[in-house]
Amino acid sequence: MHTRWKPSVTVAAIISRGSGAQMEFLLVEEETPEGIRLNNPAGHLEPGESPVQGCAREVLEETAQAFTPQALVGVYLSRFVRPATGDAPREDISYLRLAFCGTLGERMAGRVLDAGILRTLWLGPEAIRASSARHRSPLLLRCMEDYLAGQRFPLELVATDASVYAQAL
């Protein structure tokens, strides 16, 4: 029997501050089954939300800061294979990532970071390139490089039909 391929849709925020040699990117340090890893603020798109809304939600959950997406940096497809260990079976997951850049608001007092997020940190491009062994996904580096190259697309490129927001029957 043929199994339908269903990639996991994720959204990610490419958040920078400064310019030139002083430019830094906001990352999260998170616990994963592979150990402590670095990633963009990112996560899975949830039912009933647009990719732009999902990205803003994920940034808030992982950084305790509001985020307003302003442009699409790119759409990426990657594959991750986690070998079987103990009772856990082998996992073969494809991720379809929509990466956005935009503006970051102030940290919200009293708001805690999502479970598994250890901290947020700002790193420059060279430090991010040098830490590739700690990246949760190869897309962290690819998204940063596309952002640095000036790749931006209008948010209108990602349309969300009204049916997404409709209540389930």
Query: What phi-psi label fits residue 134: left (phi over 0), alpha (psi between -120 and 50 degrees) or beta?
Result: alpha
Long-range contacts of the stretch 115-120 (C-beta < 8 A, 24+): 116/30, 116/31, 116/32, 117/28, 117/29, 117/30, 117/62, 118/28, 118/29, 118/30, 118/31, 118/36, 119/28, 119/29, 120/26, 120/27, 120/28, 120/29, 120/41, 120/62, 120/63
Query: pLDDT value at position 8?
Result: 92
Query: pLDDT value at position 168?
Result: 56
Q: Which of 24, 2, 29, 4 is nearest to 14 (CA)?
A: 24
Query: pLDDT value at position 9?
Result: 95
Q: Which of 116, 112, 107 is nearest to 26 (CA)?
A: 107
Q: Name the burial class of residue 115, with classes exposed (0-12), middle (13-18) and buried (19+) by CB atoms within 10 angstroms of its CB.
A: exposed
Query: pLDDT value at position 156?
Result: 96
Query: pLDDT value at position 46?
Result: 95
CATH superfamily, domain at 8-159? Nucleoside Triphosphate Pyrophosphohydrolase (3.90.79.10)
How many residues would you count in the chain? 169
Q: Which of 57, 45, 51 is nearest to 72 (CA)?
A: 51
pLDDT (tens place) for every residue of the chain, 169 residues total: 678 888 999 999 999 999 988 999 999 999 998 899 999 999 999 999 999 999 999 999 999 999 999 999 999 999 888 878 888 888 888 999 999 999 999 999 999 999 999 999 999 999 999 999 999 999 999 999 999 999 999 999 999 999 999 875 5
Q: Name the burial class of residue 61, with classes exposed (0-12), middle (13-18) and buried (19+) by CB atoms within 10 angstroms of its CB.
A: middle
Domain borders along the chain are 8-159
